Amino acid sequence: KAGVTQTPRYLIKTRGQQVTLSCSPISGHRSVSWYQQTPGQGLQFLFEYFSETQRNKGNFPGRFSGRQFSNSRSEMNVSTLELGDSALYLCASSDYYEQYFGPGTRLTVT
């Protein structure tokens, strides 16, 4: 089976802009979770989707949003980017409680 894919791998944006990141889960997996990883805070949970419904949300401002499509692919959006949003954004797909991560999207906000 192909693994989790994320696009793009690298992204540079300017403060105030918005960005959309994409994730394709492992075939057959219906749950997709998103995490933000920074050196200071480590991996922090953003949100989780299952069958196009958000089941859980982490403690992030409303500028962070996501959605899931009928084919289980997911996108996350960050609006009004801030310097502190610079991070590695990781997507994970799951068929039960084990999560399998993609390579991440490295977002740099200047």
Partner 1 sequence: TQLLEQSPQFLSIQEGENLTVYCNSSSVFSSLQWYRQEPGEGPVLLVTVVTGGEVKKLKRLTFQFGDARKDSSLHITAAQPGDTGLYLCAGEGSGYALNFGKGTSLLVTP
Q: Which residues bind partner 1 (CB under 8 A)?
A: 4, 31, 33, 35, 42-45, 48, 50, 55-56, 58, 88, 90, 92, 94, 97-104, 106
Contact 44, 56 (CB under 8 A): no
Q: How far is the CB of 23 from partner 1 (least distance, A)?
A: 11
Structure tokens at 106: 């490295």
> Can you tell me the distance from the alpha carbon of 59 to that of 47, in angstroms, rounded to the nearest whole number?
9
Distance in Å, CB of 103 to partner 1, minimum: 5
Residue of 26, 5, 3, 28 whose CA lies nearest to 75:
5
Residue whose token pair is 């084919």 = 71
Nearer to partner 1, 79 or 94 (CB): 94
Smallest separation, CB 16 to partner 1 (Å): 27
